[in-house]
Amino acid sequence: MCNAQIDVAQLFSRPGSININILLAIFLIGGPVLTLLLLWVVYNSPWRTLQGKPIPQPVPFSHEHHVAGLGIDCRYCHTSVETSSFAGIPPVHTCMSCHSQVWRNATVLAPVRESYISGIPLHWTRVTDLPQFVFFNHSAHVNHGVGCSTCHGRIDRMQMTSKAVYMQMRWCTNCHGDPARFLRPPDQVMNMAWIPPPNQHAAGQKLIGDYHIDTTHLMDCVTCHR
């Protein structure tokens, strides 16, 4: 009778076999770790953040055509980017300043003409939209050497606008912790093709002084969370 009783632990501890305790440890520890890793990957993936994915709009506006092709300055449409926290979305009369003469009867621009006639604004979908608990001021960045393409990417190459970067807190603090790596001269802020020079950090340190940037409070919580 005693011979018929088999110790399960002994059964899985025979030479050449894997100890059941090791299997249990792998399952109990590895399972949750893999689950958390999978959740982290999904949370930061374009599937959730929509990074790099074109956002549907009422009119398929091409920045590539208008910026790179026609050479239109960012400030022609985003008029308040240098004076306000909000860059500004162009009203339809800005569009019609050109399209009353060019592509006047294009079907794709029908919503623009209808909005202009009716006075009902087009409802554009924001591509980069920060949470309400984050304070961001466009003018503070643009007027202190932070270029458009630093945050929005090569917008001049986008046929349909998409989010270039997912602005997590660590992405913002990466710049706030050492802004010299990203600052540009004033005449290069709107230059989408700007490339940092080999001596960027030294040049950036000088620009910090030229722009009168107080770096002592850039990492304070209240700087972005007010």
Please list the pLDDT of the chain residue by residue as tens digits (226 residues): 445 555 545 544 555 555 777 777 777 777 787 888 888 777 777 887 888 899 899 999 999 999 999 999 999 999 999 999 999 899 999 999 999 999 999 999 999 999 999 999 999 998 988 888 999 999 999 999 999 999 999 999 999 999 998 888 999 999 999 999 999 999 999 999 999 999 999 999 999 999 999 999 999 999 999 8
Q: How far apart are CA 57 and CA 48, in angstroms?
A: 19
With CA atoms as reference, report the closest residue to 126 among 76, 72, 162.
162
Evaluate whether 148 touches 192 at the Cβ level (below 8 Å): yes
With CA atoms as reference, report the closest residue to 171 among 185, 193, 153.
153
Domain assignments of the chain as residue spans, ordered by start:
2-43, 63-89+128-224, 90-123
Give this prediction's pTM.
0.78
